[in-house]
Structure 1
Amino acid sequence: MSDTDTVTDDAPAPEPKRTLSITVDGRPHEAQPGQWVIEACEDAGTYVPRFCYHPRMPSVGMCRQCLVEVDGPRGPALVVSCMTPVAEGQVVHTETPTVKRAQEGVLEFLLANHPLDCPVCDKGGECPLQDQAFSHGPGESRYVEEKRHFEKPIPISDLVFLDRERCILCDRCTRFADEVAGDKLIHFTSRGNDTQVNTFPDEPFASYFSGNTVQICPVGELTSKPYRFKARPWDLAQTESTCTTCSVGCRTIVQSSRDELLRYQGVDIDPVNWGWLCDRGRFNFEAVNSDRRVAAPMVRTADGLVETTWNSALAAAVQLIEESLQAGGPSSIAVLGGARGTNEDAFAWAQLARDVIGTANIDAQMADGLPLGVLGLPRATIDDVAAATTIVLLGPDLKEELPVLYLRVRDAAEHHRTRILEIAPKASGLTRYAWKSSVHEPGAQTSAVQSALADPEIAEQLAKGPVVVIAGRANLAESADATVQALQALLAAVPGATVLPAYRRGNVVGALQLGMRPAAGGLDAQAIVQAAADGKIECLVLLGADPLADVPDADLARRAIAGARRIIAVDTFLNDSSSRADVVLAAAAYGEKSGTTTNLEGRVSTVSKKVTARGTSRPDWMIATELAQLLGADLGHASVDDVTAAIADAVPAYAGVTEATLRTARDGVLAGAPDGLPALDAPTAAMPERISYDFRLVVSRKLYDRAVGTANSPSLADLAPGFAAYVNPLDLERASVVAGSEVRLSSARAGIVVTIQPDPTVLRGTVWVPFNQPGG
């Protein structure tokens, strides 16, 4: 071989280094590119004190408590670790005398005006300022002058109190309100020593997410009305659970004292809620503690509903079922509801209804949901939504119906260059973040989709990358067929798109997947209600369902409750429908039973028991099991774990959802694709004619309404806006109607008298009526 010959090395080239080598207090550590020093130190096992830094918000370096030393060309220098990015070869010191003196100095300044009222402060015992004053503070204060004083506390909303004397100006609450929630309702005011957090005059902190500012506040400046002065942290026992207020399935910590629920806190999990909760989900635990709870089973006598023993109530329920079977057979019995409970509740009741009673008339939806075929479409997760190039909103106002999903979508649009294409009959909370928004006339959803697809710019955007469609019922005044037609048109044009169904009720996906859906030849919710109204239902079983409040067609629901010959209700409260039942079986509420729940993306998470069930109330699965026994069948369930295991054995989509996997998967387990679902199909619906009417109707939900959890939580009960109709101000002017006056709205089927209000977000020629409001 000559000196000029070369040898070819076939070995693969080493992969480029994907981490940055740094040193933290003398220990080597591999940090991730893009991390702040404070994050790398935490990954290395070193805690750096902080007040303003929060992992889910951009850093601002306000408090300076996170000072550390970093070696530089001229020696070690103090840097703000939450604003300093990691770099290759960086040497970080967190415990040098210089660092300690700096942190002591920052704390001394922060405590100069702090009232030090820890004995009467709700934050005492879990206060970062208190903890760091002990661990990193000077130990004594040299400040002897008079401290500043403010009026305290002041209510800045129906749920939150503000104590400005305690504020350390960390900017967490104002940044959350602005950057995360998009509600610029709380700000810094004044200057210098008078700087304070406050709201504008006559503009309360009316955010759906205000409770998050209380949770992330590092001092006791913000406190919540439901928890204020109720307990100390060391008095609380807690467990992790999953919120079932809506179908997002936010992870929570449930806290109690003396066998009473006192507080919910958000848990940060990447796939779902990032630690955030909406105020309805955070504070509706008050309903569980309500004195209006159904604490024992009840049967109807000549004196109305009266409490009785479980033996008597179960026997009475079985008698009603047997009488109905004799009078009309299994097809004369129908079961509505089941989305309020756990997966175990739904599975046991589906077994009872299908296998024991023999009825196919079962539906967990309340005629306001989506066809079953939607669950069979290519499924998107919440993370898929956040990572999509384009999100198509073909459904309800997420801020009103699925608030934490709204936060995730908003974050994607604001910070990750995701483009939102909104197609809806009314402007929503996401309209201002949408790349393009098409607000269409009610009944024109499909044509609006077709028009959007014909736009070359939109077609180009939809071809760029992953597309996720969030599909749901934007207008309850229309049937679900309109949504299905629009969705089919969109999926035909974008075949690679995935779908996230915008179901509203907490465990509706789990209930439907586990059998609470019409069997072959069975009636769905709309048909069940119609059959009951026609006198064809011998026995109507309501599982946490209130047709009089939940079914969009209120007149049909009234006739259905009147037309059902026998009614059995399984519920936590006497509502408009269950108060008309012949037998009421007292059900355990959230926090009083264990099990699992499935969110809108198919993620199965645990629900934990924290307090004793009220009175003699029982979990729904246990009630179903006992009714089956009295009807001569054995479901084989002696405990909730037995039901969970039976689900894994019987339902292929849940084969991987076992007690063992749930115990190790804090983020939950994604269930497989369900089988046995009907094809997604809908009859072609023509655009309805106006005839002689001036307006078209839009009916949708607000976050706060007459729902049981809201109406029976004192802190939330008065937040519902009340029953009214909203029109564009120009339509009011055209009709010469004064805002706030009462008008009569008439259609071909009915008419109502309602207060009319202006709303510039309502399309001209339409009337928007929020659904299920007090006074409606």
Structure 2
Amino acid sequence: MTDSEKTLKLTVNGKEVESAPGEMLIAAAEKAGVLIPRFCYHPRLEPVGVCRMCLVEVKGPRGFTLQPACYISVADGMEVVTDSDKAKKAQDGVLEFLLANHPLDCPVCDKGGECPLQDQTLTFGPGESRFVEEKRHFEKPIAISKLVYLDRERCIQCDRCTRFAADIAGEALIDFEGRGGSLHITTFPDKPFASYFSGNTAQICPVGALTTTPYRFKARPWDLEQVESTCVSCAVGCQMVVQSSENEIVRYLGIDSEAVNQSWLCDKGRFGFESVSSAERIASPYLNGASGMVETGWSQALDAIAKTLKSAEADSVAVIGGSHMANEDVYTWVKFAKGIIGTDSVDAQLDDGLDPKVVALSDRATIQEATQAKLLILLTGDLREELPILFLRIRSAAKKMGLKILEISQSESSLTGDAAVSLRYFPGHAEDLVDGVLGAEIDPGLYSGDLQAARALVSSVDPGSVVVVGGRENLAGSSLDPERAIAKLLDTLAGAKFLSGLRRGNVNGAIDLGMVPGFVPGRVRLESASDSLKA
């Protein structure tokens, strides 16, 4: 039995609890239904134990002593008490110190109603404060970026935002300044908080110290209606909650989906909701008449479309399907185009994709499989720019799990520093460089980088444990070169899987459902499809 398969037994408040080795005590207790208060702890961040709110009694050689539950791992036979008088007194003390300088502005704070400090003060707090001194004051709010505001008076120094920026996003653009009572969050004087992931710091902030500009003073949590959805700003498909008030979307929040985004959203996805109610959005159909584009009604537009289609030959009709559509919509359009009109001239990639045969017929990998691979080969654009959350997942796997990355690209990317080997090819020579990586002799003038190290890296792993991330790095050039390079890697490395690096929202779903030439729904070739699929 491996260490990961072992089960440890401990006692929490007299109740026996099972846990996995390495699990933090605070997480093990929560699984058993015992909520230990916390501020600095976040399941997706490295523990630091700075807020001390999670102090509990743990039995050791000298009896029960107070220890931070977020900072110690479970041990077999561990005895823990979370509700003793000693633990309660410690929690009271922590809250009293936090509230000594925290402003009493809950009625105007955007965090009001969903604030852990509010909740835990009511549940674990002392009930009243003994402090009568003047609270500290800072200028507020400060716009540390166009999207995030900082209120330093509310900050409780939990270190969540700084850890996310440095450890998860890899952009240490926000940090602590000062000492003692003057300690506060700040940014560098000459650099704004220009992160692609800045909105996450506001979501994980346990108080209202960090707030997002689009949501400020828009609504209260109890006024919001919400539904789970999928982000369509890129092809990752991050899981999120869409919240609305008075029939208007007011914010998106990330959901902790282990398979996809692990609660994070990029700013493009998080703040993209503003386009939904934009005055520039086309809400009605237009007809192109003698005087140009004229707004018209749906009945008139559909009549004009029907009249045109009836008089047209099937092979003269083309259908451009947006890759932001849901799978059900794509399927309907494909059936209409290929089964009713009879045309195979359909597309959802709009010339920034790959040959659909490469995407549809490859053995596809999930994001989880990519992060757990023995070797990840990147033959795509800069993932931080194109698929930001996939970038976070791969970066985290490289930093924490030792994921080996072979980067094959024309220029440096955001993952170059995390790659075991980086190779550069000149435009049009991706296939040649892949030949070289696979053992062929190639012209040294076609590439730069340590080719021998790349060959050794590829030969050191089982081909079946390799995942190739493939996409388009340069839209100015032909897609043939990267397509051939990806296909050669997948054909030569038997058992290797493919993870699409295409950028458009539901482009992979559109390909799966036949919104590309030569295929019908189910990744089935058109020529081999049954009549029932074609009709």
User: TM-score under structure 1 normalisation?
Assistant: 0.64
Residue of structure 1 equivalent to 2:444: none
Rounded to whole Å, the distance in 1 between the matches of 2:218 and 2:527 is: 50
User: How do residues 438-587 of structure 1 correspond to structure 2 at under 5 angstroms?
Assistant: 438-454=423-439, 455-462=451-458, 463-465=460-462, 466-519=465-518
Rounded to whole Å, the distance in 2 between the matches of 1:254 and 1:16 is: 36
Aligned partner (choices 404, 418, 441) of residue 389 of structure 2: 404
SS at match of 1:487: helix
Aligned partner (choices 361, 364, 368) of residue 383 of structure 1: 368
Q: Structure 1 residues 430 and 340, CA, compared in 2 at 3 Å: closer, same or farther?
A: same
Identity across the alignment (%):
53
SS at match of 2:302: helix
Rounded to whole Å, the distance in 1 between the matches of 2:382 and 2:353 is: 14
User: How do residues 81-480 of structure 1 correspond to structure 2 at under 5 angstroms?
Assistant: 81-323=69-311, 325=312, 329-374=313-358, 375-454=360-439, 455-462=451-458, 463-465=460-462, 466-480=465-479
Residue of structure 1 equivalent to 2:531: none
SS at match of 2:77: coil
Rounded to whole Å, the distance in 2 between the matches of 1:109 and 1:192 is: 12
Would the aligned equivalents of 2:238 and 2:260 in 1 still touch at CA under 8 Å?
yes
Rounded to whole Å, the distance in 2 between the matches of 1:453 and 1:309 is: 59
User: TM-score under structure 2 normalisation?
Assistant: 0.92
Which is bigger in relative contact order (C-alpha 8 A, separation at least 6)? 1
Q: Per-residue CA shift, 1:476-499, capped at 9, x if unaligned?
A: 122111002222332344223211
Would the aligned equivalents of 2:421 and 2:453 in 1 still touch at CA under 8 Å?
no
Rounded to whole Å, the distance in 1 between the matches of 2:230 and 2:491 is: 36
Residue of structure 1 equivalent to 2:443: none
Q: Bigger shift: 173-182 or 286-295? A: 286-295
Q: Per-residue CA shift, 1:365-388, capped at 9, x if unaligned?
A: 111101111121121110111101
Q: Per-residue CA shift, 1:126-147, capped at 9, x if unaligned?
A: 0001111111111111111111
Q: Structure 1 residues 678 and 443, CA, compared in 2 at 3 Å: closer, same or farther?
A: farther
Q: Residue type of the partner of 2:479?
A: A
In structure 1, stretches of 5+ residues that fail to align are: 1-12, 521-649, 654-673, 680-776
Q: Residue type of the partner of 1:457?
A: A
Q: Per-residue CA shift, 1:404-455, capped at 9, x if unaligned?
A: 0000000011110111111111111111111111122222212222333444
Rounded to whole Å, the distance in 2 between the matches of 1:18 and 1:417 is: 23
Q: CA deviation at 1:461?
A: 2.4
Q: CA deviation at 1:83?
A: 0.7
Residue of structure 2 equivalent to 1:55: 43
Q: Residue type of the partner of 1:494?
A: L
SS at match of 1:92: strand
Q: CA deviation at 1:124?
A: 0.4
Rounded to whole Å, the distance in 2 between the matches of 1:258 and 1:401 is: 33
Q: Bigger shift: 452-461 or 258-267? A: 452-461
Rounded to whole Å, the distance in 2 between the matches of 1:473 and 1:360 is: 24
Residue of structure 2 equivalent to 1:660: none
Rounded to whole Å, the distance in 1 between the matches of 2:502 and 2:322 is: 14
Rounded to whole Å, the distance in 2 between the matches of 1:473 and 1:234 is: 44
SS at match of 1:271: coil
Q: Structure 1 residues 512 and 678, CA, compared in 2 at 3 Å: closer, same or farther?
A: farther
Rounded to whole Å, the distance in 1 between the matches of 2:321 and 2:142 is: 42
Would the aligned equivalents of 1:337 and 1:366 in 2 still touch at CA under 8 Å?
no
In structure 2, stretches of 5+ residues that fail to align are: 440-450, 529-535
Residue of structure 1 equivalent to 2:28: 40
Q: CA deviation at 1:306?
A: 3.0
Q: Residue type of the partner of 1:211?
A: G
Q: Per-residue CA shift, 1:336-369, capped at 9, x if unaligned?
A: 2331211111111111111221111111111110
Rounded to whole Å, the distance in 2 between the matches of 1:439 and 1:413 is: 20
Q: Per-residue CA shift, 1:96-124, capped at 9, x if unaligned?
A: 11111100100111111111211111000
Q: Residue type of the partner of 1:435?
A: A
Would the aligned equivalents of 2:471 and 2:482 in 1 still touch at CA under 8 Å?
yes
Rounded to whole Å, the distance in 2 between the matches of 1:303 and 1:137 is: 71
Would the aligned equivalents of 1:338 and 1:345 in 2 still touch at CA under 8 Å?
no
Q: Per-residue CA shift, 1:56-92, capped at 9, x if unaligned?
A: 1110001000011112232211100011111111111
Rounded to whole Å, the distance in 2 between the matches of 1:31 and 1:519 is: 51
SS at match of 1:263: strand
Q: Residue type of the partner of 2:182?
A: D
Rounded to whole Å, the distance in 2 between the matches of 1:320 and 1:213 is: 52
Would the aligned equivalents of 2:4 and 2:20 in 1 still touch at CA under 8 Å?
no
Q: Residue type of the partner of 2:472?
A: R
Residue of structure 1 equivalent to 2:446: none
User: How do residues 740-755 of structure 1 correspond to structure 2 at under 5 angstroms?
Assistant: none
Q: CA deviation at 1:308?
A: 2.7
Residue of structure 2 equivalent to 1:675: 524
Rounded to whole Å, the distance in 1 between the matches of 2:4 and 2:152 is: 51
Would the aligned equivalents of 2:430 and 2:485 in 1 still touch at CA under 8 Å?
yes
Would the aligned equivalents of 1:61 and 1:80 in 2 still touch at CA under 8 Å?
yes
Q: CA deviation at 1:195?
A: 1.0
Would the aligned equivalents of 1:425 and 1:442 in 2 still touch at CA under 8 Å?
yes
Q: Bigger shift: 282-291 or 310-319? A: 310-319
Would the aligned equivalents of 1:468 and 1:499 in 2 still touch at CA under 8 Å?
yes
Would the aligned equivalents of 2:154 and 2:207 in 1 still touch at CA under 8 Å?
yes
Rounded to whole Å, the distance in 2 between the matches of 1:288 and 1:170 is: 35
Residue of structure 1 equivalent to 2:53: 65
Q: CA deviation at 1:309?
A: 2.5
Q: Residue type of the partner of 1:676?
A: R
Q: Structure 1 residues 491 and 678, CA, compared in 2 at 3 Å: closer, same or farther?
A: farther
Q: Residue type of the partner of 2:454?
A: I
Rounded to whole Å, the distance in 1 between the matches of 2:502 and 2:5 is: 44
Q: Structure 1 residues 17 and 317, CA, compared in 2 at 3 Å: closer, same or farther?
A: closer
Rounded to whole Å, the distance in 1 between the matches of 2:5 and 2:180 is: 47
Would the aligned equivalents of 1:340 and 1:505 in 2 still touch at CA under 8 Å?
yes
Would the aligned equivalents of 2:518 and 2:525 in 1 still touch at CA under 8 Å?
no
SS at match of 2:376: strand
Q: CA deviation at 1:290?
A: 0.9
SS at match of 2:214: coil
